[in-house]
Structure 1
Amino acid sequence: MSLQGEVCVVTGAGGFLGKRLVKLLLEEEKMAEIRLLDKQIQPQLLHTLADCRGDTKLSVFEGDIRDGDFLRKSCRGASIVFHIASIIDVHDAVEYSEIYGVNVRGTQLLLEACLQENVASFIYTSTIEVMGPNSNGDPIINGSEDTVYDCSLKFIYSKTKKEAEQRTLQAHSEVLQNGGRLATCALRPMYIYGEGCRFLLGHMGDGIRNNNVLYRMSRPEALVNPVYVGNVAVAHLQAARSLKDPERRNAIGGKFYFICDDTPHVSYSDFNHIVMSPLGFSIQEKLMYPLFLLHIICFIMEVVSVILRPFIRIVPPLKRQLVTMLNTSFSFSYQKAKRDLGYFPKYTWEEARKRTTEWLASELPNEREKISAK
């Protein structure tokens, strides 16, 4: 099912995944208009999209996701919303009111804008972290959408993404102003890597400071399956196509899908080494400290931060839940997305790795210069 002639809104269009999705839409579909919604859109982004835009109109909507009037204006006349924008925070560094306001309240306001402005389809970018891992570190290996698991989420980020996802799925089939019905679905990507991934840059910077040796924060046996950003964009496109198809719309509406690809199952730390080893980086053989000691250190830092909270806000660089996440086997299958959405990875593991490593190589001189200047 083609999206030709449609008008869509992409929230978070200036971000890591948002930019990739906009480019894919321009390359794969002849849409009437794509609206780039974000707090700020860099002019350079429009220049990079110039060669593939064709006859598609690109419109910039800069504003706050918590502004209902702004969202209604952005959605007016649109038929599809890709809701990617959110605050990503695995350190609990962002104030609760801020992250809840953007991730949950912003999603609710956007859903309300869709109902008021007769937007037919809504695709929500969720995360694997709404599933876990839980604080016990219970593993999941090659799980599916039917896997039963005690989430007991600890991160504020995970909790707010979970609530926003639930609100999205509950909004499926709500009545639009014109009498039609809204169709929604949610995509749960694994850890997303690729060109523009700020987490990879951060790990590379740490490795540079450590004499080109990457820190090991994950046990080799804690297997996960990261996903390439280009393939996550493909999944979003396939979800939009499926929601437009009258025969498939209700079958997938109100459901969530895990999104991954054929990237090998490895630990987070070993994945960093795989994509950075061609650049001259090695990796520590063992964890910096035994796992039990890491948990004790994190516990002490967390207690100190709570005691000092009335006087000063201190964010521990590492928390127990993050240590658990980095050291728990947690992998899933994309077979349901393949069956229901027609999703299949466009980029092979070899292509994804090559593109990611080449991008890191292009960033390496700048990273070295910034670090040496400090």
Structure 2
Amino acid sequence: MPGWSCLVTGAGGFLGQRIIHMLAQEKELQEIRALFRSFTPKHREELSKLQTKAKVTVLKGDILDAQCLRRACQGVSVVIHTAASLDILGAIPRQTVLDINLKGTQLLLDACVEASVPVFIYSSSVSVAGPNSYKEVIQNGCEEDHHESRWSNPYPYSKKMAEKAVLAANGSSLKDGGTLRTCALRIPLIYGEGSQHVSYAVNRALKNNGILDSLGKFSVISPVFVTNSAWAHILAAKGLQDPKKSPNIQGQFYYISDETPHQSSVDLYYALSKDWGLRLDSSWSLPLPMLYWLAFLLETVSFLLRPIYSYRPPFNRFLVTVTNSVFTFSYKKAQRDLGYEPLVSWEEARQKTSQWIGSLVEQHKGKLNTKTQ
């Protein structure tokens, strides 16, 4: 492991950026390669400010560009693959999501074999495990339960198939005669400073007199703070390079969570934003079964109109199920094999995120003041 180097795909994303910041603290790391499709000047500025002994190389490239991937992989010892298309509502064409999440992952695996990269960590999702029905209750689930999503929606399907490809690639022969070692980390809802999920929920609430959306109030999930999620990826990278730990990790997947209380996404957003006056919606909402069948009706209308008109429903059955299920997981296996312990407590994570939400509230007030002037 001394003198190792790491390529991070999706390096400009929420999780990718945090992984790079944590890699920068690794003393033995010689080079960090940051691959992203569309780095902004702000991304580049943040990367240039990294205080690290490692060389930082910024690579602009597409996950579907095989030549770009081969160049990016040359000479690195670890690939952490976080690049993905996260689409729940069908805003992105199905084939695009499948190409990025599945084909892109396969191309990256092929590039690792060609460039003889021995370690590959895949940032997967709990959505590959379900939930398949809002009536299904999974509490503190574990890897041995073998939960698997049956949804054909492009996001859970493509993440599931990509994870299978990554784990199946474990043990593949590399061009230099070495062996590829892989594992996958199943990540739930990630929150923290810069989270698009949190930002979306907060901004919608600010436009609605400070009332948070109620969609998801029946769910119970096990969210994870972004720093803790990133830390799990660093530990997996170290573990797969460690001759003693590696045999137990190779070809395995792990659920990653932390000490954040298991709660609904709405309650999580409330806990993070209540210091700034945001509040829960106390109004009446449709019963779950009715909401589910309404989603089915909207999907049917969308399907029937497809030949003549592109109609995207405001919600679908997958979204209704995901946001209204009891679906939590334990990180005990990651604790055992990776030595994973959350670095940031729930209270510290809440405070950090709440301070950032405060800046969103101030921005909103600033815009309102500008309009009234």
List 4+ stretches of structure 1 deviating above 6 A. none
Distance in structure 1 (CA, Å) of the matches to 2:37 and 2:217: 38
1:98 is displaced (CA, Å) by: 0.5
2:273 aligned to which of 263, 269, 276: 276
Q: Is the 8 A contact 2:131 2:149 kept in 1?
A: yes
Q: Is the 8 A contact 1:154 1:321 kept in 2?
A: no
1:59 is displaced (CA, Å) by: 0.7
> Identity of counterpart residues, as a percentage?
39
Report the 3-state secondary structure (helix = DSSP H, G, I; strand = E; otherwise coil) of the residue aligned with 2:79: strand
Name stretches of at least 5 consecutive residues in structure 1 with no aligned partner.
none
Distance 1:136 1:267, change over 3 A: closer
1:170 is displaced (CA, Å) by: 0.3
1:306 is displaced (CA, Å) by: 1.1
1:51 is displaced (CA, Å) by: 4.5
1:141 aligned to which of 139, 142, 145: 139
2:201 aligned to which of 200, 203, 216: 203
2:235 corresponds in structure 1 to 238
Q: Is the 8 A contact 1:217 1:287 kept in 2?
A: no
Q: Is the 8 A contact 2:206 2:361 kept in 1?
A: no
1:151 is displaced (CA, Å) by: 2.8
RMSD (CA atoms): 1.8
Greater shift, 41-50 or 194-203, is seen at 41-50
1:9 aligned to which of 1, 7, 10: 7
1:359 corresponds in structure 2 to 356
Q: Is the 8 A contact 1:205 1:371 kept in 2?
A: no
Q: Is the 8 A contact 1:9 1:37 kept in 2?
A: yes
Distance in structure 2 (CA, Å) of the matches to 1:4 and 1:371: 53
Distance 1:254 1:263, change over 3 A: same
2:262 corresponds in structure 1 to 265
Question: TM-score, length-normalised on structure 2?
Answer: 0.95
Superimposed CA distance per residue, residues 291-321 of structure 1 (whole angstroms, 9 cap, x where no aligned partner): 2232233222212211211122221111122
Distance in structure 2 (CA, Å) of the matches to 1:29 and 1:305: 53
Greater shift, 38-47 or 333-342, is seen at 38-47
Distance 1:247 1:358, change over 3 A: same
Question: TM-score, length-normalised on structure 1?
Answer: 0.95
How do 1:90-169 and structure 2 match up within 5 A? Answer: 90-135=88-133, 137-149=135-147, 151-169=149-167
Q: Is the 8 A contact 2:85 2:97 kept in 1?
A: yes
Which amino acid in 1 is paired with 2:9?
T
Distance 1:136 1:203, change over 3 A: closer
Greater shift, 284-293 or 304-313, is seen at 284-293
Distance in structure 2 (CA, Å) of the matches to 1:318 and 1:139: 22
Distance 1:138 1:267, change over 3 A: same
Greater shift, 111-120 or 40-49, is seen at 40-49
Distance in structure 1 (CA, Å) of the matches to 2:142 and 2:283: 31
Q: Count residues with an aligned counterpart.
A: 371
Distance in structure 2 (CA, Å) of the matches to 1:154 and 1:353: 35
1:223 is displaced (CA, Å) by: 1.5
1:150 is displaced (CA, Å) by: 5.4
1:254 corresponds in structure 2 to 251
1:29 corresponds in structure 2 to 27
Name stretches of at least 5 consecutive residues in structure 2 with no aligned partner.
none
Distance in structure 2 (CA, Å) of the matches to 1:150 and 1:241: 28
Distance in structure 2 (CA, Å) of the matches to 1:40 and 1:32: 25
Distance in structure 1 (CA, Å) of the matches to 2:89 and 2:132: 16
Superimposed CA distance per residue, residues 100-122 of structure 1 (whole angstroms, 9 cap, x where no aligned partner): 11100000000000000010100
